[in-house]
Structure 1
Amino acid sequence: MASTLPLKADHVGSLLRTAPVKEARAAYANQTIDKAALKEIEDREIEKIVQKQIEVGLKAITDGEFRRIVWHHDFFSGFEGIELVQNERKATFGGGNKPKPITSIITGKIRNHHHYMLEHFEFLKQAVEKYGDGTQVAKFAIPAPSVIMYRSIEEKEKAIYPNAVDLFHDLGVAYREVVNDLYEAGCRYIQFDDTTFTGFNDATFTNRMVEATGMSRDDILECIIETTNYALQDKPEDLITTVHMCRGNFRSKHLHSDGGYDYVAPIFDRLNYDAFFLEYDNERSGSFEPLQAVKRRDVEIVLGLVTSKLPALEDPEVIRERIKEASHYVPLENLAISPQCGFASSEEGNLLTEAEQWNKLEHVIKIAESVWDKAPTI
């Protein structure tokens, strides 16, 4: 498998939790089943959704993030110096929706020591090998380092890291080790989910980052670039790394980032990713024009033209016309398509049925086949 992506139909990775997973996680939270019983049910349901992804024709196969409460907090809690705690979150999505009152907090210097999610990937890889035909790849999604800013920063954390540059340095080291550990475990496709890049268009979010770090907006962006590239420095050639630039997703609502990619598109060429997943499911994402700043021709721009928030299937011809429009700025061979986000950034999930979710993914694959004249391959 090459490090470039010939994949023309992809997905962001999270999937609606099945009823058995929801029931088991509720029972575990209520202490009516133990961790071993929960894992047994998660294992069984993950195997089922691996088979379903293969059945609909996907080539990048995920575990649907079935073992996570929230897409990022669970991962961060796997580092030494970061804990998952009960805490009322200030973030409010459209319609007044608020996620569960949990967050991750920094309690000490950040270090990596055998991140517990390595076992999650190893199970996924075994399932893909068991049910696939060798043309699929196990894809593992983790939050990008900069997502540590995507939460309320407590004052006591600033005492641990008075200088935000030191915080990002330690994160970069920890992430570099996790990337290496995942590779050693057989991972060849890591997707980073990043909510900060699109946040640079949101004054409230940007001001919060400035206040938390004491850095300017431009300096924060430079720090994120350096940290990301350090984490990916010397990555093996056969390891695909991509980034999903998320605008917030909870119960079919978004949190922030109305506006285009004007501010961040010029730095895409400086980031050591192989593909960029961009949300383009509605007008709030702006035009394709900023993509003309991307000069690299060894990357894919994955256009999130199909929404994961609503069940109705988009008109294929409209999507093909939008792909054609984007090709005025990026060559068609460097484009791909996907849903704009996952279907369940948290265990609550978006307001679709499982059947509607799979219809969406099949829709993406069929449109990609009609544009690029072949099925997506790895």
Structure 2
Amino acid sequence: MLRDTPPFRADHVGSLLRPPRLLQAREEHAAGRIDAAELRAIEDHAVEEVVALQREAGLRSATDGEFRRGSWHMDFIYRLDGISKAHDNLTVHFRNAAGEIDFTPAALRVDGRLGLSETIFGDDFTFLRDRVTDGVTPKLTIPSPSMVHYRGGAAAIDPDVYSDVEEFWADLTAAYREQVRRVRKLGCTYLQLDDTSLAYLNDPDQRRAMADRGEDSEHLHEAYIRHLNEALAGRPDGLTVTTHMCRGNFRDSWVAEGGYDFVAEALFNQLEVDGFFLEYDDERSGTFEPLRHVPADKVVVLGLVTTKHGELESRDVLRARLDEASKYVDLDQVCISPQCGFSSTSEGNSLSVDQERAKLALLVELADEVWGR
């Protein structure tokens, strides 16, 4: 059966490979050789081209590729009132088949009352909205509120501002509720909250790291689900909300491993979203068995196609994977997508735009074969 509302049978997570001219323009702007207006014009052109790429692949949703961001989450988080960049950097250990690679994003500091003075990515969404055609739905992706806490925890929160962590959460979720209200007013009907924490916490090593930080790691996912629901409380009519959960995506590498078993029951039954984008491209993702917890009114988007290399998947293998998943969840509740974005940070993964386009087109073709055109 076709789906007329998001998530669509063939969908994608959000970020797409940045063109070289855009990356060059960012470097030139950082060096002061071009001004903000010139950078914006180059970004505009790149977004128009990537919207066309998605349309030509046959997708029914379109993002701006996250082309105006350096990373999928920090560009949003730093624009919340009360958050600033810390002087020290985090070190995140990513892994791939060749070994380990360290990523050092700037850390954050909660040094003021959290709030929302501006509609974050509002102008970016409006530009996207005005350029999609032919029934394509523009999708906005933002990080989940959980990411603000997972990135730093209590150590990142100034105790003179928030002596009680529940006050921190109350202000953070209120800021998110306002963001949700504002983007819906701009015409957004498809909002995705990206949340690696809910996938990371399936990994015992990540839970140990959270326990070492002083968190109740056995129940942290339940707290995140509760606060995410608070952020979505009273959401406007006509807005589909999904969440995407991967185990890290930076230059073909990952952070966490393990299936969704630890969080699945609470996640699928308590988180008040319409759909779940799940990473399922290799053995790190675990089995499909956790899908038995998906209630009948929710949709799962299985990330069967990897963005971590350019080799095109076999359609027969993907079809077999869907057959396997159908043992645990009705195929009418299933959509398909890449396992993550193609470029969660500006560096991107090591595949070409042509390979990216082929993977997106393969998903559309497979969806047409399984569910009908």
TM-score interval, smaller chain: over 0.9
Counterparts of 1:49 and 1:271, CA distance in 2: 32
Matched, 1:78 2:85: no
Change (3 A) 1:53 1:265: same
SS in 2 for 1:121: helix
Counterparts of 2:231 and 2:152, CA distance in 1: 24
Q: Deviations over 1:132-157 (max 9, x none)?
A: 11x11110000111011342457462
Aligned length, in residue pairs: 366
Once the two structures are TM-superposed, the CA of residue 59 in structure 1 deviates from its matched residue by 0.9
User: Aligned partner of 1:114: which letter?
Assistant: E
SS in 2 for 1:371: helix
Unmatched 5+ residue regions in structure 2?
none
Counterparts of 1:149 and 1:23, CA distance in 2: 33
Q: Which residue of 2 aligns with 1:326?
A: 325
Q: Which residue of 1 aligns with 2:337?
A: 338
Q: Which residue of 2 aligns with 1:360?
A: 359
Once the two structures are TM-superposed, the CA of residue 335 in structure 1 deviates from its matched residue by 0.5
Q: TM-score, normalised by structure 1?
A: 0.92
User: Aligned partner of 1:255: which letter?
Assistant: V
Q: How does 1:248-327 map to 2 (within 5 A)?
A: 248-256=248-256, 258-267=257-266, 268-294=268-294, 296-327=295-326
SS in 1 for 2:357: helix
Once the two structures are TM-superposed, the CA of residue 219 in structure 1 deviates from its matched residue by 3.8
Change (3 A) 1:154 1:219: closer
Counterparts of 1:87 and 1:122, CA distance in 2: 34
Asked if structure 1 preserves the Cα contact closer than 8 Å seen for 2:240 and 2:274, the reply is: yes
SS in 2 for 1:303: strand
Q: Deviations over 1:303-336 (max 9, x none)?
A: 1110011111111011111101111111010011
Once the two structures are TM-superposed, the CA of residue 100 in structure 1 deviates from its matched residue by 5.2
Counterparts of 2:291 and 2:7, CA distance in 1: 19
SS in 2 for 1:93: strand
Matched, 1:372 2:371: yes
Root mean square deviation of aligned Cα: 1.9
Change (3 A) 1:223 1:47: same
Q: Which residue of 2 aligns with 1:171?
A: 172
Q: Which residue of 2 aligns with 1:122?
A: 126
User: Aligned partner of 2:41: which letter?
Assistant: E
User: Aligned partner of 2:241: which letter?
Assistant: T
Q: Which residue of 2 aligns with 1:138?
A: 138
Counterparts of 1:272 and 1:369, CA distance in 2: 29
Q: Which residue of 1 aligns with 2:199?
A: 198
Once the two structures are TM-superposed, the CA of residue 97 in structure 1 deviates from its matched residue by 2.4
Could you list the runs of 4 or more consecutive aligned residues of structure 1 that deviate by over 4 angstroms after TM superposition?
none
Once the two structures are TM-superposed, the CA of residue 211 in structure 1 deviates from its matched residue by 4.6
Q: Which residue of 2 aligns with 1:236?
A: 236
Counterparts of 2:226 and 2:275, CA distance in 1: 18
Change (3 A) 1:32 1:302: same
Matched, 1:348 2:347: yes
Counterparts of 1:35 and 1:23, CA distance in 2: 14
SS in 2 for 1:244: strand
User: Aligned partner of 1:253: which letter?
Assistant: S
Asked if structure 2 preserves the Cα contact closer than 8 Å seen for 1:9 and 1:365, the reply is: yes
Q: How does 1:150-161 map to 2 (within 5 A)?
A: 150-153=150-153, 155=155, 157-159=157-159, 160-161=161-162
Q: Which residue of 2 aligns with 1:103?
A: 107
Q: Which residue of 1 aligns with 2:222?
A: 222
Counterparts of 1:316 and 1:99, CA distance in 2: 34
Matched, 1:46 2:35: no
SS in 1 for 2:348: coil
SS in 1 for 2:254: coil
Asked if structure 2 preserves the Cα contact closer than 8 Å seen for 1:11 and 1:338, the reply is: yes
User: Aligned partner of 1:104: which letter?
Assistant: L
Q: Deviations over 1:27-62 (max 9, x none)?
A: 111121111111111011111111111111111100
Q: TM-score, normalised by structure 2?
A: 0.93
Change (3 A) 1:12 1:86: farther
Counterparts of 2:255 and 2:357, CA distance in 1: 25
Matched, 1:88 2:101: no
